[in-house]
Amino acid sequence: MQFDFKLEQVAYLLPRINAEVWYNAMQRVLPKWNINTVDRVAGFIAQTSHESAGYSVLTENLNYSADALNKIFPKYFKRAGRDADKYHRQPEKIANVIYANRMDNGDIDSGDGWHFRGGGILQLTGRYNYTQFGKVEEMSASEATDFVRTPLGALASACWFWDTNNINRYCDTQDIVTMTKRINGGTIGLADRKKHYAHALEVLGGHYSPSVSYETVRVGSQGPTVVKLQEELGLNADGIFGKGTEAKLKGWQSLRGLTADGIAGPQTLGILFND
């Protein structure tokens, strides 16, 4: 590591688990993925801790009631005409429905939904993701499903996801909002993540002082602000603000009652980057 990262710090930040086991695994895994500065390790621990209840939950909880299924997964139950009562508190059956024919999983009868359900501290999910992660670890997708439910595998899979989504770059500017979006696709639990992040920085000897600043961009602009703008709009982030980016931005601005001029200034960027 590039800083003095101690067992006592891990024990303080993650009081619900065997700190020594996880600390030793962190020392082995994190440096391989360049999670090796105060800001990066603080971001990693804060985000993964939020996702896994302090590293105490390594398997997705799918023990939903019938009412919850209709509210949380209406696409697969209420709107699909599927009787949720038949799946009440039956995690395996639920997984095989909600994850069928997605992420390279087979159909409901294949059992892939259950076999490749969320695992690890960032809940790796789906045959595709287990396959890709397994390639890195030189193991099959099925072998990876067991591995991610161990401390070493949980950290390794989270680091793989972290690197795949280039989250270190957002740690370097302490951009907790984009970190969160890259992990869960939105800002669910953002307040709690910010609290844990600030706390982790303090414990590890850092300080929360975000250095993110964005200039106004428009057609012809290039650079990191354009990359982030394109990422938030779901575009190919090539960092070049062209007519396609302008059209997408105008549509986004119009939907939110902003002046649809295709120019991303402080107001547009402030809303888009924190939406």
Domains in the chain: boundaries: 7-58+147-204, 66-115, 224-272
At residue 212, the pLDDT reads 55
84 pLDDT higher than 60: yes
178 pLDDT higher than 90: no
Q: What is the pTM of this model?
A: 0.77
The answer to whether residues 79 and 64 touch, using CB atoms and an 8 Å cutoff, is: no
Segment among 160-164, 210-214, 253-257 with least mean pLDDT: 210-214
Segment among 187-191, 239-243, 258-262 with least mean pLDDT: 187-191
Query: Residue 11: what residue type?
Result: A
For the segment 242-252, the average pLDDT, to the nearest whole number, is: 95
User: Angle at which helices 151-164 and 127-137 pack, to 10 degrees?
Assistant: 100
Compare 212 and 163 and report the one with higher pLDDT: 163
At residue 213, the pLDDT reads 62
Where do runs of H (alpha helix) occur along 89-242? 91-98, 112-115, 127-137, 141-147, 151-164, 168-172, 176-184, 190-204, 224-232
pLDDT band at 211 (very low <50, low <70, confident <90, very high): low
Beta bridge partners of 119: 59, 124
Taking all residues of the chain, what is their mean pLDDT, rounded to a whole number?
Answer: 93
Secondary structure (3-state) at 257: coil
At residue 129, the pLDDT reads 96
What does the pLDDT look like over 119-151, one tens digit per residue?
999 999 999 999 999 999 999 999 999 999 999
Rg of the chain's alpha carbons, rounded to an integer? 21
Q: Extract the tokens encoding 152.
A: 């070493």
185 pLDDT higher than 70: yes
At residue 187, the pLDDT reads 82
CA distance 25 to 119: 17
Angle value at C-alpha 37, between 123 and 43, nearest 5 degrees: 35
CA distance 241 to 249: 10
What does the pLDDT look like over 36-54, one tens digit per residue?
999 999 999 999 999 999 9
Eight-state DSSP code of residue 88: T
At residue 266, the pLDDT reads 79
